[in-house]
Chain A
Amino acid sequence: MISDFDSNWNIIDSDYCLMHAPNAEEITHKMFHYIAHTEKIIGLNASGVAFSNIDDFNLTNKRFYGCNFMQCIFRGLQSKGFRSRMSTFDFAVFSDCNLLESNIQFTSFAGAKFSHVLFTGSDMIQDNFTGLESFQSSFDDSDLYNSRFIKARLIDTSIRNCNIKNTVFREIEQQNLSFRLSNTNEAIFDERGSALFTGMKELDNPVGAKI
Chain B
Amino acid sequence: MKFYFHLNIDTFSNTYVVLDEHSKCAVIIDPGKPTNEVLKQIETDGYTLCAALITHNHEENIRGLNTLRRIYDLSVYAADIDVANTAETTIKGDGILKFGGINVEYFSVPGHTADSIVYKIGTVLFTGDVISAGEIGSTTSSYAKNLLCKGIQSKIFTLSDDTVIMASHGPMTSVSAEKMYNLAAASPAIKHKNLFTGL
Are A and B co-members of a single complex?
A: yes
Known interface pairs A111-B180, A168-B134; A147-B164 also in contact (CB < 8 Å): no
Contact segment of B68-76, B82-90, B171-179: B171-179
Q: What residues of A have a CB within 8 angstroms of the CB of B133 in the complex?
A: 108, 110, 128, 130, 148, 150
Cβ distance A144 to chain B, nearest Cβ, rounded Å: 11
B181–A150 CB distance below 8 A: yes
Which of A68, A90, A107, A168 has most B Cβ within 10 Å? Answer: A90
Instruction: Decide if B12 is an interface residue (CB 8 Å cutoff).
Output: yes
Q: What residues of A have a CB within 8 angstroms of the CB of B2 in the complex?
A: 66
Report the tally of A-B residue pairs with Cβ distances under 8 A: 87
Across the interface, B3 reaches (CB within 8 A) one of A66, A127, A170, namely A66
A90–B134 CB distance below 8 A: no
B134–A130 CB distance below 8 A: yes
Instruction: Decide if B81 is an interface residue (CB 8 Å cutoff).
Output: no
Q: What residues of A have a CB within 8 angstroms of the CB of B171 in the complex?
A: 106-108, 126-128, 146-148
Q: Give complex CA distance A107, B68 in Å.
A: 28
Give a binary string over A63-77; 1 marks a CB under 8 Å from any B CB, 0 the rest: 000101010000000
B170–A88 CB distance below 8 A: no
A90–B3 CB distance below 8 A: no
Q: Give complex CA distance A125, B170 in Å.
A: 10
B12–A130 CB distance below 8 A: no
| Residues of A contacting B: mostly | loop
* Segment 79-118 of A: residues with Cβ below 8 Å from B: 86, 88, 90-91, 106-108, 110-111
Cβ distance A19 to chain B, nearest Cβ, rounded Å: 13
Number of interface residues of A (CB under 8 A): 28
Q: Give complex CA distance A168, B132 in Å.
A: 12
Across the interface, A131 reaches (CB within 8 A) one of B5, B172, B180, namely B180
Q: What residues of A have a CB within 8 angstroms of the CB of B181 in the complex?
A: 110-111, 130-131, 150-151
Q: What residues of A have a CB within 8 angstroms of the CB of B180 in the complex?
A: 111, 131
Which of B5, B7, B134, B180 has most A Cβ within 10 Å? Answer: B134
Q: What residues of B have a CB within 8 angstroms of the CB of A204 in the complex?
A: none
Known interface pairs A108-B174, A128-B170; A86-B3 also in contact (CB < 8 Å): yes
Across the interface, B174 reaches (CB within 8 A) one of A88, A147, A171, namely A88
A-B CB contact pairs (8 Å), 27 listed: A47-B162, A66-B2, A68-B162, A70-B174, A86-B172, A88-B164, A90-B176, A90-B177, A107-B171, A107-B172, A108-B172, A108-B177, A110-B181, A111-B176, A111-B177, A111-B181, A128-B134, A128-B172, A128-B177, A130-B134, A146-B171, A147-B171, A148-B133, A148-B171, A150-B135, A150-B183, A151-B181
Residues of chain A having any CB pair with chain B under 8 Å: 47, 66, 68, 70, 86, 88, 90-91, 106-108, 110-111, 125-128, 130-131, 146-148, 150-151, 166, 168, 170-171
Closest 3 CB pairs of A and B: A150-B134, A110-B177, A128-B171
